[in-house]
Chain A
Amino acid sequence: MSWQWFHRLGSPRWFYQTSTRWLPLLALIAAAVLITGLVWGLAVAPEDAKQGNSFRIIYIHVPASFLALAGYYIMAIAGAVGLIWKMKLSFMVMKSAAPIGAALTFIALFTGAIWGKPTWGTYWVWDARITSMLILLFLYLGVMALQYAYHSGDAASKAGAILALVGTVNIPIIYKSVDWWYTLHQPATIKFTSAPSMHIDMFLPLLVMIVGFYLFYAVALILHTRSEILRRERKTAWVRELVEPRAGV
């Protein structure tokens, strides 16, 4: 009996109709939190003693990095759920999570590079974090490319899910190996965030931005999944009913 809600959760139609109701509110909250965090971090928080104002980039760089990594696990879990319970909706979520995660990884890399220039004099540094983030981007692109190559359908989703899971196992291994290699060769490791040693006035807006980014991710994921639902379920009766009034009988 308790599995009923779980399987109802797997219905694309239920997801579409429920999200139609709740998305506007969620989007509003996400926007409010993000704007608060941005204004707080970019304008109100005090200047850093050593880095001047360029440290403010962390208010985008850090949340984007968190979400880039978390997003990959969300994508992999969605793939696993789809494989195990054969849930179409889960595969749709997985497919939607890929471009969002890739975009966030790009933002993390881009903002990291921009931050690097005034702070350490160079746009690119080979260290474990940056390299692993770059690999993460490749992993995302791989999942996207594989699904695209199979066009739509079962094989695309399942192959993508398997690849996402293989990547999940490898991410910690890759990070650890790269970290080990670079600490061998560059004893002076550069730390990109010093969150624990950050002053509370600088840390609070960062927390707000992290929450804001999570909310944003949820909004983006729901939006993409809705489109995917329409794409895959276009022949069904309930989708046609959605459109019916517009067709101008």
Chain B
Amino acid sequence: MDGHGIYVWLAVSVSLVVLAWLVVAPLLSRRALLKDIARDILRERARQSTATHNQGEI
């Protein structure tokens, strides 16, 4: 490609990496968020059950 090819491929590959990151990053964060929220729910449920358990004892 008459020596200019490397410029084209450099530009295209860096751009594709950035574009890919723009799509992958939110997908990863969404997954992490859902996991985090699930943990929250488990924690709350655990807290609630110990609370009622303790109440029962009193």
Query: Which chain A residues have a beta carbon within 8 Å of chain B's beta carbons?
Result: 38, 42, 51-54, 56-57, 60-61, 64, 99-100, 103, 106-107, 110-111, 114-115, 117-118, 216, 219-220, 223-224, 226-227, 230-231, 234, 239-240, 242-244, 246-247
Contacts and interface: CB of A to CB of B under 8 A. Distances in A.
Nearest to B2: A52
B15 A107 contact: yes
A160 B3 CA distance: 45
14 contacts: A38-B12, A52-B4, A53-B1, A53-B4, A103-B19, A114-B7, A114-B11, A115-B7, A219-B23, A223-B23, A227-B33, A239-B37, A246-B35, A247-B42
Given A239-B37, A243-B34, A243-B41, A57 B11 contact: yes
B30 A247 contact: no
Interface of B: 1-2, 4-5, 7-8, 10-12, 14-15, 18-19, 21-23, 26-27, 29-30, 33-38, 40-42
Nearest to B29: A227
Contact of A100 (B22, B33, B42): B22
Query: Looking at chain A's contact residues, is the secondary structure mostly helix, strand, loop, or mixed?
Result: helix
A52 B14 CA distance: 21
B18 A56 contact: no
Given A54-B4, A114-B7, A247-B41, A231 B23 contact: no
